[in-house]
């Protein structure tokens, strides 16, 4: 009993707990700030260490290594190194170090190349595992929670559904976000949000932070309450020689036979085309164009993120030449990152084709990213989600 009383007094006194440094105690907005000089669990050095001046120190203990490099497109872009990996320096204690920055507050993907082998940072507990072999996530904090962080606001719920697909003949998954205060006596519009090549159904929630982004938008009064369904849009192995030929028809079948019926059976939704939107990034953007544009009986709103088709005049001829398309489409967003916007690319080509045919749409280029999650989180928060369901 004495121990219990002491513990109770300790807790009642507001005893400090680890609030950052990869402790995984809270959903910290500054998890890689060195607060107590404690090594992350399972690691042998602190890495990465993000300072309040937004410089970042990477460490790797590898006494037998001959070379350690920082690699990864989003990271190299952020530090202005193009595509050339950046070397670490080896210390007498066998610890390799590299300091970069200052960087803008955001989340960045990076990897390490040790003696020619590309790996995730072995000391960083924040890792990703979706569209490529394991990678590490660098979270550079600002003066407070970012737009994609878990803030002290009402939060929605993300539910994982497992179902059997007759299209792929196997068990598949889908994540569904319901907004704070979800009430089955109300009808909610649904955004079907899909990923890029090789990604998992969970990636929009884990890397994309879609649920936190919408939580924050709703708390700010900048978006309309909606459900977000995040299905798996991988229909055939991405390296299959007939991927392009087969994937679009298979995804349409999956939408019609399984994805939409599952959502409309289990949730209180606006079960018609005016209550459905389809959006995706990269390959998911192409699914939006090649499946969504051809399925105006299902959807009335679309978001094409970092995608399109340089030959949209041919591939989307039916949509582009439909004289009633502006009446049928409530909202169409086409966007890409500032560092992937080059003349003649597929996203711009889609925008130009829509403009040529006088199809109403919002086109946006912005953010500090390229073809990466820095761009797609930015597009979701600053443009696409606030624009949905605004047509009166």
| Per-residue pLDDT tens digits for 47-64 | 999 999 999 999 999 999
Name the nearest CA neighbour of 299 among 265, 336, 325, 338.
325
pLDDT in tens, 96-125: 999 999 999 999 999 999 999 999 999 999
Examine the pLDDT at 6 and tell me if it is beyond 60.
no
Domain extents in the chain:
15-140, 157-387
Average pLDDT of the chain is 90
Q: pLDDT-derived band of residue 18, with 50, 70 and 90 as boundaries?
A: very low
Out of 3.30.559.10, 3.40.50.1100, 2.60.40.10, 3.40.710.10, the CATH code matching 15-140 is 2.60.40.10
**Predicted pLDDT at 131:** 61
pLDDT in tens, 153-208: 999 999 999 999 999 999 999 999 999 999 999 999 999 999 998 888 999 999 99
pLDDT in tens, 240-250: 888 888 889 99
* Architecture of the domain defined by 157-387: 3-Layer(aba) Sandwich (3.40)
Examine the pLDDT at 17 and tell me if it is beyond 70.
no
Examine the pLDDT at 42 and tell me if it is beyond 80.
yes
Examine the pLDDT at 232 and tell me if it is beyond 70.
yes
**Predicted pLDDT at 88:** 97
Examine the pLDDT at 5 and tell me if it is beyond 80.
no
**Predicted pLDDT at 252:** 96
Comparing 131 with 298, the larger pLDDT belongs to 298
Bridge partners, 188 (sequence order): 269
Examine the pLDDT at 142 and tell me if it is beyond 90.
yes
d(CA 162, CA 266): 13
């Amino acid at each position: 009993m004495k121990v219990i009383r002491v513990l109770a007094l300790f807790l009642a006194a507001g005893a400090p707990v680890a609030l950052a440094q990869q402790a995984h105690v809270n959903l910290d907005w500054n998890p890689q700030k060195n607060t107590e000089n404690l090594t992350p669990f399972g690691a042998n050095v602190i890495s990465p260490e993000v300072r309040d001046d937004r410089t970042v120190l990477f460490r790797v203990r590898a006494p037998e290594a001959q070379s350690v490099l920082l690699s990864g497109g989003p990271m190299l872009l952020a530090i202005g190194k193009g595509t050339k990996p950046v070397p670490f320096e080896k210390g007498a204690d066998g610890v390799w170090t590299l300091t970069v920055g200052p960087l803008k507050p955001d989340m960045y993907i990076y990897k390490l190349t040790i003696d020619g082998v590309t790996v995730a940072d072995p000391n960083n507990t924040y890792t990703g595992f979706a569209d490529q072999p394991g990678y590490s996530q660098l979270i550079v904090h600002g003066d407070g929670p970012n737009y994609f962080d878990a803030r002290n606001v009402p939060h929605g719920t993300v539910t994982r559904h497992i179902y059997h697909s007759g299209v792929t003949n196997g068990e598949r998954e889908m994540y569904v976000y319901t907004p704070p205060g979800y009430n089955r006596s109300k009808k909610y519009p649904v955004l079907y949000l899909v990923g890029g090549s090789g990604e998992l159904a969970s990636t929009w929630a884990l890397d994309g932070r879609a649920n936190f982004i919408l939580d924050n938008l709703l708390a700010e009064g900048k978006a309309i309450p909606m459900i977000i369904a995040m299905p798996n849009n991988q229909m055939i192995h991405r390296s299959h020689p007939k991927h392009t030929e087969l994937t679009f028809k298979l995804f349409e079948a999956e939408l019609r036979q399984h994805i939409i019926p599952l959502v409309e059976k289990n949730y209180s939704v606006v079960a018609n085309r005016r209550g459905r939107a389809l959006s995706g990034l990269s390959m998911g953007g192409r699914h939006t164009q090649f499946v969504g544009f051809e399925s105006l009986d299902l959807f009335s709103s679309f978001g094409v993120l970092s995608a399109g088709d340089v030959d949209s005049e041919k591939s989307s001829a039916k949509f582009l030449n439909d004289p009633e398309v502006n009446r049928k489409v409530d909202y169409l967003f086409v966007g890409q990152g500032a560092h992937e916007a080059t003349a003649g690319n597929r996203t711009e080509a889609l925008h130009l084709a829509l403009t040529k045919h006088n199809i109403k749409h919002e086109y946006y280029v912005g953010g500090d990213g390229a073809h990466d999650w820095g761009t797609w989180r930015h597009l979701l928060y600053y443009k696409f989600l606030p624009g949905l369901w605004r047509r009166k």
